[in-house]
Amino acid sequence: MRNAKIVCTLGPASDSKAQIRDLAEAGMSVARLNASHGSPEDRKDVIDRIRAVDEEVDRSLAVMHDIPGPEVRTADIDEPIYLEGDSRVRFFEGDTATPEDVGLSVDISVVEPGDSVLLDDGRIETTVEEVDGSDVYVHIENGGELKARKGVNVPGVDLDLPFPTEKDRRELEVAAEKNVDLVAASFVRDGSDIIEINNTLEEFGADVPVVAKIERKGAVENLDDIIEETYGVMVARGDLGVELPLEKVPVFQKQIIRKCNEAGIPVITATEMLDSMEQSRRPTRAESSDVANAVFDGTDAVMLSGETAIGAHPARTVETMHDIVRATEQSDVYERIRDERVPPSDESQADALAHAARTLADDLDAAAIVAASESGYTALKTAKFRPSVPIVATTPNDRVRRQLGLSWGIHSVTTPYTTEGADAIIHESVQAALRTNVAESGDTVVVVSGMMTDLEGVNTSNMLKIHIAAETLVSGEAIVSGLATGPLVRVEDGDVGSVPDRAILAIPADFDGDIEGDISGIGGIVDARETRISPITSVARDHGVPMIIDAAVPTGVDDGTTVTIDAERGVLYEDVVSDYSA
């Protein structure tokens, strides 16, 4: 199973329901909607289609709404224009563009002669020669074709744009209305920008985790402050490589990922990872290495932009990225690096338990770590320590399930609300690990659970258990509580004189009689009938024999099969079930 996740930007090449499903089946975990393009109404429709696919596919699929932030873009023109090198061009606030006059989305007249103005991720370089009122005249140092709505960067210049912008507010209102899973905030400067986004979402009645996009020098300098306030981080290398010297971006990428890993928050590596696959069916060797290096660095997710939004082969591109990530994670080099970079735990109990879960899983050769969590916090803490086994995160909250789809190594599953206490939560969580095929019956799993005091009737403290996973054979109604393991024996005539010690008796639905013989050595009784008051239930109560009713043992389970009756929860398991508190 793959640990690093894949984020895909949706666009004209990938926003139909069928196309979204193709991407999800190819390996997409998070669908990104770029609000710099299209309309809010279009985005609402796409979100509905993503939700429909999420309900149909096996893995979680989250929606990340990427708001534009205080950006500057060129005019939304119908046809590309060409800016000649060594020519003079006027920039102005407007919605038209020619080779001599290029409209921008905002006024940039605060620039001064000598400042650089870069277009389209720096592909077109200009230098300011003159500022006349709101008009800015530049010299084209390096020309090229300019298409509609390309990004404009002015490195080192504060354009004093509002945050969030009015467009951001409109998009955040859509995010709140559609209950998206994540909001990505562009061009953040420090932690206060994240607080502003959260306040705006709260104003619209929403609580959506924010992913901070690191795109400016100021954001790199204020990274610690941003990490303190944000849910996650995106290393947006396109604008970052324009705002900062290009040669420094790889170093900053590694530093940002490392800090996020140490803080235990998800981090996405983005921009031009498989750029050539917008047209080509195969990536370049350099692109393949770029994806692999991000995985070696410890990224939680890698992102595709134009490759899936407007590319010729969206699903194939996702499959290719999946293959690169999977091959990287299966290497001895990756295993060594992962183990060397396990961060120390902080002084919190949650950190200590998550770190202990990783150690136990290694020492016991466990198949998985099962993290039962209402808010997702326990699962995120577990992922922080990069265990060598899969993390199955169970939650009663569908939205939390989707959000956890961004984080490294987590396979998130929705489990039903329960008011039956911690043991019931653990039972449901371990069954989820079996249903997802992460663990098999008889496997050892490490179960870590956080506080769940917000669930009605449930008050669990942080806990850690070693558990033997077992498949549920049948569920019924508990009559006499207790836990017992033994061989299954079907009772046809009521005579138990020759059954083995600790046997679990299976009473068929058409049984009409009584048990004959000494039952003091019987382990438990599983009765297919619904009768709560009968001679057998009376005997079970008198002797304290665990018993459940309304539970017909499947015909495919042979006599002599080792089973466990958990009459506390009214469940019969295949194999031995045990757990040990830590």
Average per-residue pLDDT for the chain: 93
Instruction: Answer yes or no: do 214 and 296 share one domain.
Output: yes
Kindly write down the DSSP assignment for every residue of 32-56, as one continuous string: EEETTSS-HHHHHHHHHHHHHHHHH
Dihedral in degrees, nearest 10, Cα atoms 337, 338, 340, 341: 110
Distance between CA 4 and CA 405 in Å, rounded?
10
For the stretch 178-200, pLDDT in tens is: 999 999 999 999 999 999 999 99
Distance between CA 96 and CA 428 in Å, rounded?
59
Catalytic position from the list 2, 21, 49, 73: 73
pLDDT band for position 459 (cuts 50, 70, 90): very low
Instruction: Answer yes or no: do 178 and 325 share one domain.
Output: yes
- For residues 36-64, average pLDDT: 96
Distance between CA 308 and CA 88 in Å, rounded?
36
Last residue of a domain, one of 104, 127, 153: 153
Catalytic position from the list 21, 178, 213, 569: 213
For the stretch 153-183, pLDDT in tens is: 999 898 989 999 999 999 999 999 999 999 9
Q: Which CATH number covers residue 547? A: 3.50.30.10
Concerning whether 338 is annotated as a catalytic residue, the answer is no
Flag whether 158 is in a domain: no
For residues 524 and 545, the answer to whether their CB atoms sit within 8 Å is yes
Instruction: Answer yes or no: do 297 and 326 share one domain.
Output: yes
Phi, psi of 492 (to 5 degrees): -100, -40
Show the tokens assigned to 103: 């409209």
Instruction: Answer yes or no: do 327 and 346 share one domain.
Output: no
pLDDT at 424 over 80: no
Concerning whether 472 is annotated as a catalytic residue, the answer is no
Instruction: Answer yes or no: do 294 and 224 share one domain.
Output: yes
Q: Model's pTM, two decimal places? A: 0.85
Flag whether 492 is in a domain: yes
Beta bridge partners of 547: 480, 525
Domain containing 252 equals 5-70+163-337
Concerning whether 213 is annotated as a catalytic residue, the answer is yes
Judging by DSSP bridges, how do beta strands 116-119 and 152-153 pair with one another? Answer: antiparallel
Distance between CA 343 and CA 141 in Å, rounded?
46
Instruction: Answer yes or no: do 300 and 402 share one domain.
Output: no
Catalytic position from the list 9, 271, 299, 485: 271
Instruction: Answer yes or no: do 477 and 536 share one domain.
Output: yes
Instruction: Answer yes or no: do 186 and 286 share one domain.
Output: yes
Show the tokens assigned to 574: 């295949």
Flag whether 580 is in a domain: no
- For residues 17-43, average pLDDT: 97
Residue 451: the pLDDT is 60
Judging by DSSP bridges, how do beta strands 267-270 and 232-236 pair with one another? Answer: parallel
Q: Which CATH number covers residue 16? A: 3.20.20.60
Flag whether 581 is in a domain: no
Residue 57: the pLDDT is 96
Q: Which CATH number covers residue 130? A: 2.40.33.10
- What's the number of domains the chain is made of? 4
Flag whether 579 is in a domain: no
Residue 454: the pLDDT is 52
Flag whether 582 is in a domain: no
For residues 545 and 525, the answer to whether their CB atoms sit within 8 Å is yes
pLDDT band for position 426 (cuts 50, 70, 90): confident
Concerning whether 9 is annotated as a catalytic residue, the answer is no
Last residue of a domain, one of 414, 441, 469: 469
Instruction: Answer yes or no: do 246 and 373 share one domain.
Output: no
Flag whether 560 is in a domain: yes
- For residues 51-67, average pLDDT: 97
Catalytic position from the list 5, 32, 43, 465: 32
For the stretch 508-563, pLDDT in tens is: 999 988 888 888 889 999 999 999 999 999 999 999 999 999 999 999 999 999 99
Q: Which CATH number covers residue 377? A: 3.40.1380.20
* Cis before 416? omega within 30: no
Flag whether 214 is in a domain: yes
Instruction: Answer yes or no: do 432 and 324 share one domain.
Output: no
Last residue of a domain, one of 469, 486, 512: 469
Distance between CA 302 and CA 221 in Å, rounded?
23
pLDDT at 257 over 80: yes
Residue 456: the pLDDT is 47
Residue 580: the pLDDT is 56
Instruction: Answer yes or no: do 189 and 296 share one domain.
Output: yes
Instruction: Answer yes or no: do 61 and 120 share one domain.
Output: no
